[in-house]
Amino acid sequence: MAVLSEDVLLYLKEKNIPMLFEQIVQNIISDAPERPMSYIGDLMRRGIPLQIFIAGPAGSGKRTQCKNIADRLGVVLISSGQVLTRGVESGSETSQLAHSYVSRGERVPDTLVSMIMKDRLSQSDAREKGWLVEGYPRNAQQAQAVEECGVIPQVFILLDLPEDLSFRRLEHRRYDPATNKEYHMLDNPPPAEDVALCERLVQRDADFHESIAKRLAQYYESIEGVKKHLGAVIEVVDARKSVEDVERDILAAVEKHRFR
């Protein structure tokens, strides 16, 4: 077999050729068409829908970005937590097995979570429109299970935020239980003259320093394992910027990996 030149390797990388072929094979395996060549032609004409993972540490704004990006691109937004909850409620054999763990108060195994996730990503809306998954995979085991299930995103967006900014963004958050409106004591404080409002503001348990520190430690410990499995499609986005600028950078990263 001939050795590929640096120019050829660069071309293959820039045009996402290896990932393109992998996506084609995944579609063929999933759909098992009677006429594979015709199927591939149809697939190329209509295009392969976007498939995106987005993750980031606490305070990086991933939930906001996921909603904005999904709306902009017209893809289905999928939360790993919601998928597990709804999967358990769906009544399928896989979900019943997951429910047995939940009912015992035990953690659902990563392989089972990945099977439920694959089932969700195989549904018609996600297959036709494309999908964006928020906060998944969470660890190396889930990333490996995802690969074994044949679910590989075109791009995995990692929001990058220094730990001190995570604490700054989260520790100073307060919410008004009467209106559910949120405030930030440094960046968006409540009006000082509204004494009643200031007195009833509440800090969520998840926003206390100890809770934030625990979540960050878990994230940074587990994300390294995820990188080892999905490093080829990772794009790091600076989450220190404004919401609008982060959204712009994510869209640019997605376009870089879009199949054309």
Q: What is the pLDDT of residue 78?
A: 94
> What's the burial of 117, exposed, middle or buried (CB within 10 Å: 0-12/13-18/19+)?
buried
Asked if residue 118 belongs to a domain, the reply is yes
CA 189 to chain centre: 31
Asked if residue 43 belongs to a domain, the reply is no
Closest residue by Cα to residue 155 from 209, 43, 234: 234
Asked if residue 213 belongs to a domain, the reply is yes
> In this structure, are strands 173-175 and 155-160 parallel, antiparallel, or unpaired?
unpaired
Q: What is the pLDDT of residue 87?
A: 58
Q: What are phi and psi of 233, to 5 degrees?
A: -115, 10
**Can you give the pTM of this predicted structure?**
0.83
pLDDT by residue (tens digit) across 209-226? 999 999 999 999 999 999
- Of 65-69, 106-110, 141-145, 178-182, the range with the lowest mean pLDDT is 106-110
CATH assignment at residue 133: 3.40.50.300
Asked if residue 212 belongs to a domain, the reply is yes
Q: Which domain holds residue 151?
A: 51-257
CA distances from 207 to 166, 172, 184, 191 (A): 10, 8, 12, 21
CA distances from 23 to 34, 136, 151, 166, 260 (A): 18, 19, 9, 35, 13
Asked if residue 17 belongs to a domain, the reply is no
User: What pairs with residue 158 in β-bridges?
Assistant: 55, 236
pLDDT by residue (tens digit) across 42-89? 887 877 889 999 999 999 999 999 999 999 999 999 997 777 777 555
Q: How far apart are CA 67 and CA 40, in angstroms?
A: 31
pLDDT by residue (tens digit) across 250-260? 999 999 888 76
Q: What's the domain count of the chain?
A: 1
